[in-house]
Amino acid sequence: MKTITYALIFALSIWLLPAKEMQHPVETQSQNNITFNCLTNHYALLSTRIVHRYRTNNKNDKIRATKLPKGLRWNASKKQVEGKIEQTGNFTYQITAQRAGKKITKDVTLKVSDNLISPTPLMGWMSWNIFQDKISEQNIKKVADLLVSTGLRDAGFDYVLIDDHWHANLRDADGKPLEDLRKFPSGMKSLVDYIHSKGLKAGIYSDAAPQTCGGEFGSLGYESIDAQQYAEWGFDFLKYDYCGAPNNMETAKERYKTMSEALNATGKNFYFNICEWGERKPWLWAANAGGHSWRVSFDSRDTWDHGKYDGSHCGVIQSIDIMKNLDYYAGPNQFNDADMMCVGLYGKGKPSSASGARGMTDTEYQSQFSLWCMFATPLLISFDLSTINKATLDILTNGELIAINQDRLGQQARCVYSHEGHEVYLKDLENGDIAIAILNRNNTKSDFNLKLADINLKSRYKIRDIVAKSDAGILSKTLKASISSHEAKVYRISKLK
Ligand code: GLA
């Protein structure tokens, strides 16, 4: 029954989608009005370098920031605010754009804190792709054990996230949510205590409607009671889905805000993951609704290219194509979520293998991991850790790539070149280094020469291949790479004096 409900809700939500928006979820405002197409509310860690990039809907507009707080300055050539602030608190400044006699000014907010919930993207393991409804106390405990014994926890993967289907059939007589005691005989509190005892954090799942995507009870109308129970159980994270909820953006904003306020009212810190699949452009509002990350697409599938993004399935290529338009909408404490990685699944997942997704090669898994690091998106492992092999472990524990994902500047890589199946992504890093990824989307191996001048890099650099973990000499004019089909090379370059 649950499966049927899920299928119906899903089919309906797909049917309701406007086809054009699904393929290119970026804003298309009238070119006559000036609009800022970027974040204007920011978070920063105390005494940590800040970059706020700005753009409008016309690249020729003149942009300028004014009334900047002490420690920040405007970099006109890069159209970005830079610096660092040595004091916690809420700050404001203004950003102005001008075009042919027209001018708009917008207030920007900046919260500087020494304890943001997600200064860098979340890293962990999520139950959905592999276990779907077959979660249990036993297999979740095993995941916690394996995160520790494989070294993944120490590499940074420290959240264990329980997705849908943890629920009993009904709430209790007072409306409190109950766990399914057949799956979790010792109760949620005991499981969360176990997860915590392993030096890990724990996450739970619900939905902003009467039912979850899998047909379990949702939280609409029960937000306070649910948040309180999640807090009492000890959870640190909530993924909040949107199946069965109205299509419009205003309702989504309200429902997410209501839940985030309920979580805050418990007095416990929660990471709040918004999951409405990018349909209502959450990058424009989700941080204000209390989110720390928001899904930008429908569910990831264990395949490189799922063909057209049809509103329900997303191969790696489809996720890349969505993420590549969203780099102006990410920063510390607010990240675009490209969904769980399929690394290590090898076609053995349940939902991740629906609709013919048969798994990927290790090169493709490596590319997914490398690009998810470049995109500063949450890094969520989703396979059965008891099946981990050496190739997968090597991919997931590459500390140099993880450092790119966890870089405290919080930038999402921007696409600076795209031609004949080659794409180049740049990500500025806190210490002044730059990460460069070159992706070969073609089905054949090819040589690629990247002229630094073409991407506005004018210095000499020390270069390191951080996938191969080897120094690659000095880079001054051209970066030459021989790139396999579906491979992404990733380099870290450091300017030489
Ligand atoms: C939706 C979400 C998935 C998963 C399922 C659970 O499809 O996008 O990530 O949480 O619901 O039913």
pLDDT, tens digit (0-9, with 9 covering 90-100), for 31-87:
689 999 999 999 999 999 999 999 999 999 999 999 999 999 999 999 999 999 999
Mean pLDDT of 226-253: 98
Question: For residue 402, what pLDDT band results from cuts at 50, 70 and 90?
Answer: very high
At residue 161, φ and ψ (nearest 5 deg) are -110, 115
Tell me which residue has its CA closest to atom 5 in ligand 1.
Answer: 213
H helix or E strand, kind and range, residue 206: strand 201-207
Q: Is the pLDDT of residue 8 over 60?
A: no
Which atom number of ligand 1 is nearest to the Cα of residue 239? 10
Q: What is the 163 CA–ligand 1 centroid distance (Å)?
A: 8
Q: Tokens 């020494």 sit at which residue?
A: 114
As a residue count, the chain comes to: 497
CA 238: distance to chain centroid? 14
396: helix, coil or strand?
helix
Identify which of 161, 204, 240, 243 to mutate to test ligand 1's pocket (most ligand atoms within 8 A of the CB).
243
Instruction: Tokens for 68, please give them.
Output: 């900047």
Structure token pair of residue 291 = 């989110």
One-letter amino acid at 463 equals I
What is the arithmetic mean of pLDDT over 468-479?
Answer: 96
- Candidates 181, 265, 171, 264; CA nearest to 218 is 171
Task: Look at residue 312 and tell me whether its pLDDT is greater than 90.
Answer: no
What percentage of the chain exceeds 90 in pLDDT? 91
Catalytically annotated residue among 163, 164, 226, 241: 241
Give the separation between CA 363 and CA 357, rounded to whole angstroms: 16
**How remote is the CA of residue 486 from the centroid of ligand 1, in Å?**
27
Q: What pLDDT, on the 0 to 100 scale, is given for residue 144?
A: 98
pLDDT digits (tens, 9 = 90+) for 150-167: 999 999 999 999 999 999
Strands 41-45 vs 271-275: parallel, antiparallel or unpaired: unpaired
pLDDT digits (tens, 9 = 90+) for 190-217: 999 999 999 999 999 999 999 999 999 9
Domains in the chain (CATH in brackets) are 3-17+412-495 (2.60.40.1180), 41-113 (2.60.40.10), 123-405 (3.20.20.70)
Tell me if the pTM is above 0.85: yes
User: What pLDDT score does 30 carry?
Assistant: 56
Tally of CA atoms within 13 A in the half-sphere of 380 that contains its CB: 25
Mean pLDDT of the chain: 93
Exposed/middle/buried for residue 127 (C-beta within 10 Å: 0-12, 13-18, 19+): buried
pLDDT at 134: 98
Q: What is the mean pLDDT of residues 384-397?
A: 98
Tokens of 205: 């799942």
Strand order in the sheet with 293-295: 335-337, 293-295, 271-275, 237-241, 201-207, 159-161, 123-126, 379-381
pLDDT at 26: 44
Residues with CB under 6 A from ligand 1: 128, 163-164, 212-214, 241, 275, 277, 299
User: What are the φ/ψ torsions at residue 472 (nearest 5 degrees)?
Assistant: -125, 30
Confidence of residue 24 (pLDDT cuts 50, 70, 90): very low
Name, in order, each residue with C-beta under 8 angstroms of 220's C-beta and a sequence gap of 6 or more: 207, 208, 209, 210, 245, 255
Catalytic status, residue 226:
no
Are the beta carbons of 314 and 337 closer than 8 angstroms? no
Of 299, 327, 337, 433, which one is the catalytic site residue? 299
Is the pLDDT at 277 greater than 50, yes or no?
yes
Q: What residue has token string 């090898």?
A: 346
- Inter-residue contact 276 to 320 (CB < 8 Å): no
Please name the residue that has the structure tokens 């076609």: 347
Q: Which helix (H) or strand (E) holds 401?
A: helix 399-405
* Look-up of token digits 């890099």: 457
Q: 241 alpha carbon to ligand 1 midpoint, in Å? A: 7
* pLDDT, position 1: 38
- What is the distance in A from the centroid of ligand 1 to the CA of 480? 41
Could you tell me which residues come within 8 angstroms of residue 28 by beta carbon, excluding any fewer than 6 positions away? none
Are 244 and 251 in contact, with CB atoms under 8 Å apart? no
Q: What is the rounded CA–CA span in Å between residue 247 and residue 224?
A: 23
27 within 8 A of 36, measured Cβ to Cβ: no
Mutate to test the pocket of ligand 1, among 165, 299, 301, 381 (most ligand atoms within 8 A of CB): 299
In the reported structure, the alpha carbon of residue 304 is separated from the centroid of ligand 1 by a whole-number distance in angstroms of: 20
Residue nearest to ligand 1 atom 11, measured at CA = 213
3-state secondary structure of 227: helix
pLDDT of residue 31: 65
Q: Is 299 one of the annotated active-site residues of the chain?
A: yes
Distance, CA of 277 to chain centre: 12
pLDDT of residue 309: 73
